[in-house]
Amino acid sequence: MDHNTEKNNRVFLMGEIVSEATFSHEVYGEGFYELFVRVMRLSGQADILPVTISERLIEGNDLKVGSRICALGQFRSYNKLEGGRSRLMLTVFVRELAEESAARNPNSIVLSGYICKPPVYRTTPFNREIADLLIAVNRAYNKSDYIPCIAWGRNARFVQNLKVGDRVALSGRIQSREYVKRLSETQSVTMTAYEVSVSKLAAFDEDENFDLDGEFELYTAQAHAVHGEAERR
């Protein structure tokens, strides 16, 4: 196992299970299930996030709707065929369960990876600066996860100058966001997107001040107001 790939993608989530577990897939005889978890923000809003967890952890901890879950894992992607087209799906893959603590930030992620699409910089009608970027994060066994991220303000201005292939490290939180997709002139459907809202970011040639281990400890140790700007959006 490549321990660097273990550090490149780390998530801590704490929240309430809001859906029944449904079967996802099986690996070497072990079943994995998907459920949704409501994670509260400091602002009082909530993110409803997809979580994939093994049947062993579900049965051993009596996880059901209304139960609290506190988990460590990775934010992973996979392709799913829908209507003849491939769609990028995202899920928090649980590696282990942890003790719940009111002092911890309930939603934190640290990633290290590569820019794999040109970043898209824009401003909102209220003149807020935003940049969208897609990060390829290496995983064990020569796999990669493709994680959409959104940066704000100063981070957005920094991101717009990055190029495909540049290596970055970042920390933040996972958020859910609803949007309307038009199917035709008369039909539309409400969809949910999942992405990382970036709080701190550095290019890898400037990462001497970005300690992946330290960032993860910082974001899981206590609820910091450093999320503030992104939380309020």
Per-residue pLDDT of the chain (233 residues; tens, 9 = 90+): 454 667 899 999 999 999 999 999 999 999 999 999 999 998 889 999 999 999 999 988 989 999 999 999 999 999 887 777 888 899 999 999 998 877 778 999 999 999 999 999 999 888 999 999 999 999 988 899 999 999 999 999 999 999 999 999 999 999 999 888 887 878 888 889 999 999 999 887 665 667 777 777 766 664 443 334 444 44
Please provide the CATH number assigned to the domain covering 3-231.
Answer: 2.40.50.140
* Segments making up each domain of the chain, as ranges: 3-231
What are the distances in angstroms from CA 105 to CA 53, 75, 108, 125, 160?
21, 17, 7, 31, 29
Residues 78, 70: Cα–Cα separation, whole Å: 23
Phi, psi of 154 (to 5 degrees): -60, -40
Reported residue count of the chain is: 233
Q: What is the pLDDT of residue 1?
A: 45
Q: What is the pLDDT of residue 221?
A: 60
Q: What is the pLDDT of residue 226?
A: 37
Global pTM?
Answer: 0.87
Residues 133, 120: Cα–Cα separation, whole Å: 7
